[in-house]
Structure 1
Amino acid sequence: MRRFLVRAAALGVLLAGLTGVPGAAAATGPVPLAPADLTGSVANTGISLSWRQPAGGPAVASFRVYEGGVAVRRTATTSAPMQYIGVNTTHTYTVTAVSATGVESAQSAPFTGTTWTPGMAPQCTEPAPTTVFDVTSSALSVRWTVGRSSPLLALSVNGRDHGIVSGTSLRVGGLTPDTSYAVALRRVGCGSQEPTVGYATTRTLPGTTNTTAAPRDLVVTGRSDRSIALAWSGPTDGSYVHQYAIYDGAYRVATSWTRSATVTGLFHGTGHRFTVAALNVAGNESEHSPVLSPSTEPCPAQPPAPARVSASAVTASTVRLDWTLESTATSYTVLDGNTVVATVTEPAAVLTGLASASTHQLRVVGLLTGCTDTPASAPVTVTTLPGAADRPAAPAGFQAGRATIADGYYADIPLSWSTSAGLTYRLYDGATVVGTYPAGAVTLRTRGAERHVYRLTAVNANGDESAPSGPVEVITPFLVAP
């Protein structure tokens, strides 16, 4: 029976087949703008990345996350959880945007984060670097970094409390021209002191004052995976409004002559922080409406199909399959004709126990959590090498023992299985060969907070592999600091 092997890379995030570098794709057309404001929420087992795609340029279909010049994640939205990448490890990421025709942007500015052990996280006084920009006579924008402590930050401008602010940026309007302003961020949920962790000063430009009251009753009237429709009421004082400006965090995303607007160019499953300001004839901003935090529809309306599918015959019993997907899939189904032969979690599979000189027509479908599946990839045909027909039986009794912590950052994982005379045993971590062993046990040392999916095949004297054992999944433990 045809079986499969799942690839779970040693750091849990490196995806087989994603080895391109920015600009390497043979595609033509306008170049997208580079993603901006790349940041990360750092935890003990991973780093959750998020970024912003600036308005303008050609439409963006997907994004690629790079580490060390290698694309380690492809996604169709503006976030990427990099999970099980090892405790106390440092990672530097950049992101590129990819147009619908496959043209890739320049890289974003990098983000560097170090995963940490619980009990060793920075304290509430960890800085939240704060930047003030796009200052006019009546408004300013603030951008900050959350850090690894409590994510609850409260914003004040010249002592006026704007309350807890979500996300990493906000626009503040209704300011007085030619006036000095101090912006402060304090961390909430850290006891009674609520220390100030971000601070910046600026001066508004000379000009006229906009005394119009803030728009109100901001609501969502419709949404899709790429847009959100908004409506609101005018100022309570009934004053004349020349135009309205709609902001997402600190960035203007639309203007409207009426009390409604549809914000487009968004990405599925993303949260937004909308406010609306009334503009006078001079373009000065009133105070902003309260923040509204909706999300786009969670599923892409037209998910892409897996692409760049390649298959190679490794032996008379084994083939390897690799592919890419410009979206985020939780798993993949591999089909041989119309028969499911593999369900894997990353874009690579090794099929073992196949017949010699047998031909297989393989396709891949991505499985999107809570959403429709992707279309199937174009088929690829592969034929195993000629050879003997006999195959050993799949190993029995494959199991993981109790992992022991070697030090604060590493653990030893004992694996064992039953053996038969004349056979050796090949251990896989996903689709990666860990080693070939003559005995029925091995102990692997791995870093804490990594995910591994091990499978074992039996190999006969001809080098032909059995179908694999059932999977043994391990998330390696680590020492929790006091």
Structure 2
Amino acid sequence: MRTLAATAAALTALLTVLAGTTGTAAAAGPTPLAPADLTGSVAVTGISLSWRQPAGGPAVASFRVYEGGAVVRRTATTSAPMQYLGVNTTHTYTVTAVSSNGVESPPSAPFTGTTWTLGMAPQCDEPAPLTVFDVTSSALSVRWSVGRASPQLALTVNGRDYGIVPGTSLRVGGLTPDTAYTIALRRANCDPRTAPVGYATTRTLPGATNATAAPRNLATTARTDRSVGLTWPAPSDGSYVHQYAVYDGAYRVATTWTPSATVTGLFHGTVHRFTVAALDVAGNESEHSPVLSLSTAACPVLPPSPSRVTATAVTASTLRLDWTLESTAGSYTVLDGDSAVATVTDPGAVLTGLAPASPHSLRVVGSLPGCPDTPASAPLTVTTLPGPTDRPVAPLGFRVAQPTVVNTYDADVPLSWTPLPGLAYRLYDGATVVGTYPGNAVTLRTRGAERHQYRLTAVNANGDESPPTAPVDVITPFLVAP
């Protein structure tokens, strides 16, 4: 039994220690523009989100993905794979941009998607909603949503075949003024006689025709994590070009007097689809060059470090640690001094089996997929609560049996371990307590196509925990529909 003094100490010592930015103070500075064109490619177990950050406004350092008013992902690039969402689940997301001063933009327009089950793949008539905008006398822009079916989409404009168009937007130039145009998208892997999955009509404005030939041989000169250099030959037939316009998909990103440009304000690991048009004095566009698809450097030169680190002394044996990272990490390592004491896949960790009233200097390092690790967070010192010194040993034999599908969308996950007398067993999924159990087994009902990382600790009569078992990773199965 705990003494009265120990109980009082526990009540008064349950404090949160902060390291880094708390996020409670109002940030100063101009507000970034809201992200635009949020769309998603929906698959069996997840939704891959992507968006565009408009040019202008203060520089953007990172983005936050929201679902139901809560931040569910932070990233320093313009895409976010939302994985292991569970089959047949509906999700609505918005995205905000965050400046280097911490000022957050208004949210983007929402995107809603529903994951689907294998065997129920959309057919060739799955819609790809199409929008035509920024129409001039000589050009128009088109954007579309990929949806759930194959992203291989073929574009035609007044019957002219532009072939399979990468990405989700394109600028088309060299059009005839004051002319009606029909724009259609078809699934490239389906019967060409199938009705278009995206369709629109528009009319170009009155004006002059640009007779300059389309630029050719667009190439890259240099790439960083934030910029791309482009070059192309000047016309060899002596045609006069007033200026050149560089487009990334449907959006103009640079205008230049010479046949080269450097496009800045990009984000690491992002794919861009550049075309170039020659402009006459009136600004009319020639036909565009063929698309040049390339990506910025995969790794950020200055990766962020974990921040807003908080630690709570839960008991005499347990600490709870939370943090944020304004980027996408594959995993996180928690250091106590220079020793790694936990590796987790999501922000947040529980450290158990610690000595009572013991100080710990904690730091967090993020692992960026395919890139060097982030710098470590600032060190944070936290002390466990006072209490008894005895600790159970870590459970033995912790294992998961083969999960079984129980209906169209759910699965059972059987977990078991070797019990010892007088102990209970606490199950964690990441940093979340699933439950505390007597005996030697539990079966969890979960949604199919979810990912879980389970750890088990032993708990004695004082409530003190053992060190955890090694993690057991589970991706729950799901029913394959006929």
TM-score by length of structure 1 reads 0.94
Partner of 1:369 in structure 2?
A: 369
Partner of 2:345 in structure 1?
A: 345
Partner of 1:207 in structure 2?
A: 207
Q: Distance in 2 between matches of 1:436 and 1:71?
A: 28
Amino acid at match of 2:131: T
Residues 471, 102 of structure 1: alpha-carbon distance in 2 compared, 3 angstrom cutoff: same
Q: Which runs of 5+ in 1 are unaligned?
A: 1-16, 18-22
Partner of 2:10 in structure 1?
A: none
Partner of 2:55 in structure 1?
A: 55
Q: Distance in 2 between matches of 1:202 and 1:210?
A: 19
Partner of 1:70 in structure 2?
A: 70
What is the DSSP-based 3-state SS (H/G/I as helix, E as strand, rest coil) of the residue aligned with 1:452?
A: strand
Amino acid at match of 1:232: W
Trace 1:64-143 onto structure 2 (pairs within 5 A): 64-143=64-143
Partner of 1:426 in structure 2?
A: 426
Counterpart contact for 1:213–1:236, Cα < 8 Å: no
Amino acid at match of 1:371: C
Q: Quick check: 35-44 or 147-156, which moved more?
A: 147-156
Amino acid at match of 1:225: D
Partner of 2:441 in structure 1?
A: 441
Partner of 2:398 in structure 1?
A: 398
Counterpart contact for 1:223–1:229, Cα < 8 Å: yes
Partner of 1:152 in structure 2?
A: 152
Q: Distance in 1 between matches of 2:93 and 2:341?
A: 34
Amino acid at match of 2:446: T
Partner of 1:270 in structure 2?
A: 270
Counterpart contact for 2:449–2:475, Cα < 8 Å: yes
Q: Distance in 2 between matches of 1:280 and 1:443?
A: 71
Partner of 2:416 in structure 1?
A: 416
Partner of 1:238 in structure 2?
A: 238
Shift of 1:342: 1.3
CA offset digits 1:375-394 (Å, max 9, x no partner): 11111111101111010111
Amino acid at match of 2:290: P
CA offset digits 1:119-173 (Å, max 9, x no partner): 1121110111111000000000001111111111111111111111010100000
CA offset digits 1:404-458 (Å, max 9, x no partner): 1110100011111111111000011111000001111111000000001111100
Q: Distance in 1 between matches of 2:374 and 2:213?
A: 48
Q: Distance in 2 between matches of 1:194 and 1:227?
A: 40
Superposed CA RMSD = 1.4
Partner of 2:216 in structure 1?
A: 216
Partner of 1:303 in structure 2?
A: 303
Partner of 1:477 in structure 2?
A: 477
What is the DSSP-based 3-state SS (H/G/I as helix, E as strand, rest coil) of the residue aligned with 2:391?
A: coil
Shift of 1:196: 1.2
Shift of 1:265: 0.2
1:190 maps onto 2:195 in alignment = no
Q: Distance in 2 between matches of 1:382 and 1:28?
A: 31
CA offset digits 1:291-318 (Å, max 9, x no partner): 0001000000000111000000010000
Counterpart contact for 2:33–2:56, Cα < 8 Å: yes
Partner of 1:4 in structure 2?
A: none
Shift of 1:195: 3.8
Q: Distance in 2 between matches of 1:465 and 1:299?
A: 39
Amino acid at match of 2:445: R
Partner of 1:354 in structure 2?
A: 354
What is the DSSP-based 3-state SS (H/G/I as helix, E as strand, rest coil) of the residue aligned with 2:397?
A: coil
Partner of 2:286 in structure 1?
A: 286
Amino acid at match of 2:134: D
Q: Distance in 2 between matches of 1:480 and 1:386?
A: 52
Amino acid at match of 2:289: S
Q: Distance in 1 between matches of 2:235 and 2:286?
A: 10
Shift of 1:237: 3.3
What is the DSSP-based 3-state SS (H/G/I as helix, E as strand, rest coil) of the residue aligned with 1:427?
A: strand
What is the DSSP-based 3-state SS (H/G/I as helix, E as strand, rest coil) of the residue aligned with 1:93?
A: strand
Trace 1:456-467 onto structure 2 (pairs within 5 A): 456-467=456-467
Residues 86, 25 of structure 1: alpha-carbon distance in 2 compared, 3 angstrom cutoff: farther
CA offset digits 1:236-279 (Å, max 9, x no partner): 53210000000000000000100000000000000000000000
Partner of 1:7 in structure 2?
A: none
Partner of 1:30 in structure 2?
A: 30
Residues 445, 390 of structure 1: alpha-carbon distance in 2 compared, 3 angstrom cutoff: same
Shift of 1:32: 0.2
Q: Distance in 2 between matches of 1:270 and 1:24?
A: 31
Q: Distance in 2 between matches of 1:396 and 1:193?
A: 62
Amino acid at match of 1:363: R
Shift of 1:24: 7.4
Q: Distance in 2 between matches of 1:191 and 1:412?
A: 41
Counterpart contact for 1:124–1:187, Cα < 8 Å: yes
Residues 193, 91 of structure 1: alpha-carbon distance in 2 compared, 3 angstrom cutoff: same
Counterpart contact for 2:186–2:192, Cα < 8 Å: no
Q: Distance in 1 between matches of 2:151 and 2:350?
A: 42
Q: Distance in 1 between matches of 2:367 and 2:379?
A: 17
Amino acid at match of 2:327: S
Counterpart contact for 2:157–2:181, Cα < 8 Å: yes
Shift of 1:235: 3.2
Amino acid at match of 1:261: A
Shift of 1:480: 0.4
Partner of 1:41 in structure 2?
A: 41
Q: Distance in 1 between matches of 2:471 and 2:223?
A: 41
Shift of 1:219: 0.2
What is the DSSP-based 3-state SS (H/G/I as helix, E as strand, rest coil) of the residue aligned with 1:286?
A: coil
Residues 422, 305 of structure 1: alpha-carbon distance in 2 compared, 3 angstrom cutoff: same
Q: Quick check: 466-475 or 35-44, which moved more?
A: 466-475
Q: Distance in 2 between matches of 1:131 and 1:461?
A: 65
Q: Distance in 2 between matches of 1:24 and 1:54?
A: 28
Counterpart contact for 1:143–1:169, Cα < 8 Å: yes
Q: Distance in 2 between matches of 1:370 and 1:142?
A: 34
TM-score by length of structure 2 reads 0.94
Residues 243, 236 of structure 1: alpha-carbon distance in 2 compared, 3 angstrom cutoff: same
Amino acid at match of 1:356: P
Shift of 1:57: 0.1
Q: Distance in 2 between matches of 1:273 and 1:329?
A: 26
Residues 143, 192 of structure 1: alpha-carbon distance in 2 compared, 3 angstrom cutoff: closer
Partner of 1:3 in structure 2?
A: none
